[in-house]
Structure 1
Amino acid sequence: MDEIGNGKGYVLSKEEILEKMDYAVSEGADQMFLQGGVYPDLPFDYYLDVISTVKSKYPEMHIRAFSPVEIINLEKITGKSLFEVLQILKSVGLDSVPGAGAEILTDRMRNIISPKKATTEEWVRAMETCHEAGLPGSANIVFGSEETKEEVVEHLTVVRNLQDRTGGFLSFIPWTFQPQTKRFKVRAVSTQEYLKVLGICRIFLDNIKHIETSVMVLGKGVGQLALTSGADDISSVVIEENVLRSFGLKTEKEAVKFLKEGGFTPKRRDLLYNYERYEGRELSAV
């Protein structure tokens, strides 16, 4: 939700995070996705403690955490280099990093939608350093504001060129801005436009193996169409979501049913696109 300036910001304690993890594991989770806002007064030890505690209790849990904007903040508060910060996080259990906060990677659009976030240059530096540190992840595009078609292509070019250098992006996800956003203009994106952009992403980003569609944001109808328009992945079954209004698949059985009804063969994977750990495990929709 768009909560900037409404006084509802919060910091979860380690105990609260573990309580959430206990519930998630009881529901079958084996991957943790964690990110938040930038809080300059929160010490680096907090981040280390959270990651190390979760990894200690659940050593098989894949931890994907901290957006480029958060990582840049950690560089500032520690006085260490970006690479050093990432190496320390990796040593306590961080496995991969989401390429969040990209939205549209042009300076004009970033000044409109996120003037206090990382610049295009800073975002690229953060993700490139993540990949150099052995922390792969994803990248995305968020459209449906005042961006031009040329800026969409410029964004994809930035991502493609970075992928050529590092090979660290495992997947790419096209999103649309959500209508509850109040800080800048958000326009309705038709299904046709979304599928067109998704298809362009698949063709243009031939150096990124997987294109995800977000059933969580777009719903099942568009999600099934997306799987015939360039996407090969429906992302994760989300147990708890605190940022977006979710229209997604709540259980593995729902996901399996959704894929089979669309004529696809469901295949479970982890965040690094490893399938082997789930081989021999039947996926049932009932």
Structure 2
Amino acid sequence: MSIDHILDRALKGERLTLEDGIRLYESPELEKIGHAANEIMKKWHPEPITTFVIGRNINYTNVCDTYCRFCAFYRPPGHEEGYVLSDDEILQKIQETVDVKGTEILMQGGTHPGLKLDYYTNLLRKIKARFPQIQMHSLSVAEIVRIAEVSELPVETVLHELHVAGLDSLPGAGAEILDDRTRMKISRKKGSWKEWIEVMKAANREGLHTTATMVIGFGETYEERILSLLRIREAQDETKGFKAFISWTFQPDNTNLKAEKVTAEEYLKTVAISRLMLDNIANFQSSWVTMGPVVGKQSLSYGCNDFGSTMMEENVVSAAACTHKVNTNEILRLIREAGKIPAQRNTKYEILQVFNEGEWAETDFVMQN
């Protein structure tokens, strides 16, 4: 059965259904789906600009008692390889980011049972006192819930206190697949899909903007993927707090969950279908970290308008033997090769600098692990 009528409806601005999404996944016409997604992207972003942010992931701890089967990074409480970075180490990493004109810190760790709310608020205040300009796009739903549990406080109170202390926005980590069959298979202790959505909506009500994510490759069905997108779409209708959507692929190496790696074609199809289904989110990030820079560049023709973060440090995905790395000037080159104009943005997707032809970053870095 032809998918033309589905794509035509999407291009006319009609909202696609669960059945439409499944049919698109079942279709072999990847290029046709990608073309439609690219046309939708251009309605949101008519100028041929692809943005990126100069940022750093800081994994302040690897101690975690959630025990996700798909994670190669965490260490259980009491493990000899467990760590919590000192405040001075974290401040030094932020200074190094600022030195290369970085604007965003994605600080995440595990669900550490020994760290209560005051640890995070004290750290955030210390960071903001020294770096008031830095955007703390940090923590995750799972971390927020664990902080609330060990501090014996409501989630809403935790979000408010973190916001006051210096948390600017909440990343979409931990969504994986927003359907409980798969969630219970890969991480029984991480909470239901409803909990993830409710914490995100609470963050939006608190005034924190957020991002939404989906990870594919756990053995989930097409229906479960589309249900994830529909649940994100419904939450966005209510709070309008999601600044961006990012999909990436499960990396099975060194984990306790074995699976075949998702192909580039399946990833690009997911990017495109997500753009068609999520008609109320403006920005879509490429996932060059898991797919590599070449596929990342291709995704700019399948609905993505953003190349994500330079990620001058990354440890979680790297722990699963996924080691794609780029620096700022490499990102500029890749975006130009895709026929786009590169522009540095901040966490709110406000453009800070457009790099015209022949312009390169004055400061750059070597990615660290």
> Normalized against structure 2, the TM-score is what?
0.73
The separation in 1 between residues aligned to 2:337 and 2:216, in whole angstroms, is 29
* 48-57 vs 79-88, greater mean Cα deviation: 79-88
Quote the residue 1:278 is aligned against: 353
**What is the aligned-residue RMSD (CA, Å)?**
1.8
The separation in 1 between residues aligned to 2:268 and 2:112, in whole angstroms, is 36
Quote the residue 1:115 is aligned against: 188
The separation in 2 between residues aligned to 1:3 and 1:267, in whole angstroms, is 32
Quote the residue 2:298 is aligned against: 225
Q: Give, in angstroms, the shift of residue 43 of structure 1.
A: 2.4
Q: Give, in angstroms, the shift of residue 28 of structure 1.
A: 2.2
Greater relative contact order, per chain length (Cα 8 Å cut-off, separation 6+): 2
Matched, 1:176 2:253: no
Gaps of 5+ in 1: none
The separation in 2 between residues aligned to 1:151 and 1:173, in whole angstroms, is 17
Matched, 1:187 2:260: yes
Q: Give, in angstroms, the shift of residue 182 of structure 1.
A: 2.3
Which among 84, 90, 95 is matched to residue 17 of structure 1? 90
Gap change, CA 1:14 and 1:283, over 3 Å in 2:
farther
What percent identity do the matched residue pairs reach? 36
The separation in 2 between residues aligned to 1:167 and 1:68, in whole angstroms, is 18
3-state SS in 1 of match to 2:227: helix
* 125-134 vs 20-29, greater mean Cα deviation: 20-29
Q: Give, in angstroms, the shift of residue 117 of structure 1.
A: 0.7
Question: Which amino acid is the alignment partner of residue 353 of structure 2?
Answer: Y
Gaps of 5+ in 2: 1-70, 362-369
Q: Give, in angstroms, the shift of residue 144 of structure 1.
A: 0.8
> Normalized against structure 1, the TM-score is what?
0.94
Question: Which amino acid is the alignment partner of residue 173 of structure 1?
Answer: I
1:21-40 equivalences in 2 (<5 Å): 21-40=94-113
The separation in 2 between residues aligned to 1:241 and 1:158, in whole angstroms, is 29
The separation in 2 between residues aligned to 1:52 and 1:266, in whole angstroms, is 33
3-state SS in 2 of match to 1:230: coil
Indicate conservation of the 8 Å contact 2:208/2:241, yes or no. yes
Q: Answer 1 or 2: which has greater strand percent.
A: 2
Matched, 1:257 2:333: yes
Q: Give, in angstroms, the shift of residue 5 of structure 1.
A: 4.9
Quote the residue 1:2 is aligned against: 72
1:240-255 equivalences in 2 (<5 Å): 240-245=313-318, 246-250=323-327, 252-255=328-331
The separation in 1 between residues aligned to 2:73 and 2:308, in whole angstroms, is 25
1:136-151 equivalences in 2 (<5 Å): 136-151=209-224
The total of aligned residue pairs comes to 284
Indicate conservation of the 8 Å contact 2:342/2:355, yes or no. no
The separation in 1 between residues aligned to 2:259 and 2:109, in whole angstroms, is 22
1:47-126 equivalences in 2 (<5 Å): 47-126=120-199
Q: Detail structure 1 runs of 4+ shifted over 3 Å in the superposition.
A: 3-6, 277-283
Q: Give, in angstroms, the shift of residue 191 of structure 1.
A: 1.3
The separation in 2 between residues aligned to 1:110 and 1:225, in whole angstroms, is 30
Quote the residue 2:207 is aligned against: 134
Indicate conservation of the 8 Å contact 1:113/1:183, yes or no. no
Gap change, CA 1:281 and 1:87, over 3 Å in 2:
farther
Rg bigger for which structure?
2
3-state SS in 1 of match to 2:136: strand
Matched, 1:239 2:312: yes
Q: Give, in angstroms, the shift of residue 185 of structure 1.
A: 3.0
Indicate conservation of the 8 Å contact 1:35/1:67, yes or no. yes
Gap change, CA 1:188 and 1:2, over 3 Å in 2:
same
3-state SS in 1 of match to 2:342: coil
Which among 260, 270, 275 is matched to residue 202 of structure 1? 275
Q: Give, in angstroms, the shift of residue 122 of structure 1.
A: 1.1
